Amino acid sequence: MIYRNGWREFFILAISFGVPMGVFFIIQYGFVAGAVGGLCAGLLFGGLMTLFTRGTEKKFAKMRTEISADRPIICEGGATWQGIGGWMFFTAAGLEFYPHKLNHARKDFAIPLSELSEVRLKRNLLVIVLKDGTGLEVVVSKNKEWKKHIDAVLAQGDGASDYAR
């Protein structure tokens, strides 16, 4: 299952950027010009971020093909880890994160299934708890769905490849 950003995320971005910009424009240029400017700024920002996200999805399509040839992919989607945006795969082997090329730092990580202890939810975060007690916080869209899949695989034990099919 690929978890893509959709209309919901577009509107969240548009509103969260457009409202502050609208207030700023209203203070500077008056109500009508400010409201129109805020609306335009929000729609433009939401649209540009949506285009960026769609481009990222296409760029990781090649990696999806390579990974799925080696191990079954259970779910995948855009993710942010320690402020670094990229794409995360949950495969029968574990969790894998690959940053996109626009990041100043490129930190890939792979967590084998054998090292996963549990997964918790915290707002829009997926908190990945390892067997040594450390936790990694990853921002993902539809974190409840990610948790559901990871919990199901962890409950099965060694049956991750069966779950993926």
The partner residues of 90 in beta bridges, in order of sequence, read: 75, 95
Ordered by start, the domain boundaries in the chain are: 2-53, 72-164
Q: Does domain 72-164 have CATH number 3.50.50.60?
A: no
CA angle 63-70-142, nearest 5°?
Answer: 55
Q: Look at 118 and 5; give whichever has higher pLDDT.
A: 118
State the pLDDT at residue 11.
85
13: enclosing H helix or E strand: helix 7-29
Contacts of 142 (CB under 8 A, 6+ apart): 3, 77
How many CB atoms neighbour CB 91 within 10 A? 22
Residue 162 has pLDDT above 70, yes or no: no
Residue 44 has pLDDT above 70, yes or no: yes
